Structure 1
Amino acid sequence: MNFFEDWTWTTVIKEIIDVTIVSYIIYKLILLVRGTRAVQLLKGIVVLVAVWAVSYIFGLLTLQWLMNQLFTFGVLAVFIIFQPELRRALEQLGRGKIFTMPATEEDQAMNDRIEQVIRALNHMSSRRIGALIVFERETGLSEYIESGIKLESQISTELFVNIFIPNTPLHDGAVIIRGNQIMAAGCYLPLSENPFISKELGTRHRAAIGMSEVSDAITVIVSEETGQISLAIHGQMVRGVDQESLISKLHEELNPRLKKKPRERTSFFTRWRGDQHG
């Protein structure tokens, strides 16, 4: 009896492992074809399988024979039609990418988004083009998004530059980013009423500080007068942020897995203590 029980549990464990592996492979294959023309082809295959099932259930012999013939030659057709996707899958398998954790893909997507923003900031900073970019986090910013022009577009350097070109309709407002999308441009932000803010700071900087006071959003500013890049978060502002520090801070704050302890997070501001006081 003990042997039988041991054999049963061993079988169950093996079946669980088997199903888990197969499920994971199917999941990775779905990620691989997502967003490609293969999705539509897969839908067509599902329809054919459904037709075959109906012919089998209701005994439609002619239709069933036709579907059997189609499936016989369809295997070869699938390999021909899905050749690009299959080749890409084999290449990723050879590079060991197909079995990487989803977090790696998320990190890469985060890197790409931040890179697009940094490139835009550098371009505008060198040309002294004023800009105001807000990253939404836990606190929803829908009311501020509705105050601007909805875009819901992909994040790109070129789009940022076009939005903030002087004397254009969206130039004076803020761009709000939610996840991997630019939700809106030309948005109105609340101005800070802090009386201790330096008189040197203009409307963009006051709006950035105001947004950081009423939400947990991160706001990056490019000064139109000096080209200086500043960052506002937690009701504080850092002026003259260098590229390396800005990239590090954006990764730390926008990626929950990389967040540091609050004690360490505040140290980012200690080198520029008193910036908002002049």
Structure 2
Amino acid sequence: MNDAVLYEQHETIVTLTLNRPATRNALTEIEVVDALVTGLERAQDDRTVRVIVLTGAGSAFSSGGNIKHMRDDVGTFSGNSARIRENYRRGIQRIPKAFHELDVPCIAAVNGPAHGAGCDLSLMCDIRIAAQSAVFAESFAKVGIIPGDGGAWLLPRAIGLSRAFEMILTGTPIDAQRAHEWGLVSRVVPDADLMEAALTLARAIASNPPDILRMSKRLVREGQRMDLPSLLELSAAFQGIAHRTADHREALAATFERRPAIYTGD
């Protein structure tokens, strides 16, 4: 894993920090894609990880695509139409696919502007907390392109079709308060309190049984594309697993004994 994304673990919580402040954490460089995907896969494979917090270094969460590279036809934006299509498929589109396979709960701590693919990156996370200075924009139309990394799928599910169309078709940014009113973020906090708010929430999540967290997230994700009878069948199967875990017995014992539970993932 290169230094384009920092991976730091404290107990059961991993913080992933986009670490390209000079480009306002643009996502389209292949080293950023590689580092982010590697970090997500590492957390997924590590059974000690219960929660991920994703944020950006510097003053921005992520500026999305590198518009200087767009202007100069380099990197992701080089070649003919067929080549650009492959660049997207083998590049930035690996990120939403990696998030789709991620069972670990993920919190976006949006510390500043989240534009274009940066806005979509926040949407790939399960929970979003915004600093007061955060700004969200589906800014693709402003540079003459379309959402190429899953935003057209993610945004309507977060804020509804009408508001998603408004953001995508106008490209107009919305501030953190409007994002909260529209349901794009769960809460808005002062800039100085952002990471502590995200980590406090992460600790609350991480206090629960790790396998239950992963199964619950997968159940909600699968429920977005299932009918109710299918979801109930999957729920019954997952519940059969949950009821026979050591962590379930520990949760019951801790409840009756009025003490904090100690979960092992067994």
- TM norm structure 1: 0.23
**Greater Cα radius of gyration, structure 1 or 2:** 1
- TM norm structure 2: 0.24
* Structure with the higher helix share, 1 or 2: 1
